[in-house]
Amino acid sequence: MSSLMMTKKILFPIQLVPSCILLIPAAAMLFKVRDWVWSPADFVLGWIFIGGTVAAYKFVTSKTPNGAYRLATGLAVLNGLVLLWINAAVGLIGRESNPANLM
């Protein structure tokens, strides 16, 4: 029973954090904010990106009590998410369709 509770304790933030963050674009679409149109695939991809980021942070920092290590890991994982999100949204090199963005 203890391992089941531990699993729920670990998985809850991984499920809750992306869902709460994605309420922002959902609300923007609900209130018809101009130029904010997401498809269901965009929400799924966003949930995977954010959920993967939270899971990576939880996995890497699960065994360390060191606060500085947790902060550095959080910044590194967040940096990776931002880089991935920007590249997926508009690309970093030239236009969105530039093949160099696939790096």
Considering Cα of 12, then 15, then 21, then 22, what sign does the dihedral take? negative
pLDDT of residue 75: 92
pLDDT of residue 17: 80
Under the banding of pLDDT at 50, 70 and 90, the label for residue 79 is: very high
pTM over 0.85: no
Instruction: Indicate if the pLDDT at residue 95 is higher than 70.
Output: no
pLDDT of residue 8: 66
pLDDT of residue 91: 59
Start-end of H helices in 22-66: 23-30, 40-60
Q: Tell me: the pLDDT tens digits for 37-77?
A: 788 888 888 888 888 888 888 888 888 888 898 899 899 99
Instruction: Indicate if the pLDDT at residue 94 is higher than 80.
Output: no
**93 token code pair:** 């090199």
